[in-house]
Amino acid sequence: GAGVSQSPSNKVTEKGKDVELRCDPISGHTALYWYRQSLGQGLEFLIYFQGNSAPDKSGLPSDRFSAERTGGSVSTLTIQRTQQEDSAVYLCASSPHTPTGRTYEQYFGPGTRLTVT
């Protein structure tokens, strides 16, 4: 079946502009995560959505970052007034629930490479 998809795959923007990054999770997956991966770094947790619950935004680095998840499916990560330090690969992942509870493993999209000039 279809995996997690992200668009665009690459985005180059000028400092100060706003950008929107999109994530389409695997159908039926109730949990969705956003991460940031800077060059040579591990993954930095940004935000987590689970079903209709309020998202956990504790990883968002500043109030310039926000995310939405519409209808429990597609998610959009918005970065306002982009800065050069926002340049990174933004990864989205989704995770299913099983009848016995969460399975915990995450399925990742290919990422969006953001370059702020």
**Where on the chain is the footprint of other proteins (CB under 8 A)?**
4, 31, 33, 35, 40-43, 45, 48, 50, 56, 58-59, 91, 93, 102, 104-111
CB of 50 to other proteins, least distance (A): 7
3-state DSSP call for residue 79? strand
Q: Could you tell me the smallest distance in angstroms from the CB atom of residue 16 to other proteins?
A: 28
Residues 89 and 112: beta-carbon distance below 8 Å: yes
The two tokens of residue 104 are 């915990």
Q: Is the peptide bond before 110 cis (omega within 30 degrees of 0)?
A: no
**CB closer to other proteins, 42 vs 71:** 42
Residue closest to 90 by CA, chosen among 13, 21, 24: 21
- Smallest separation, CB 74 to other proteins (Å): 17
* 91 vs 116, beta carbon nearer other proteins: 91
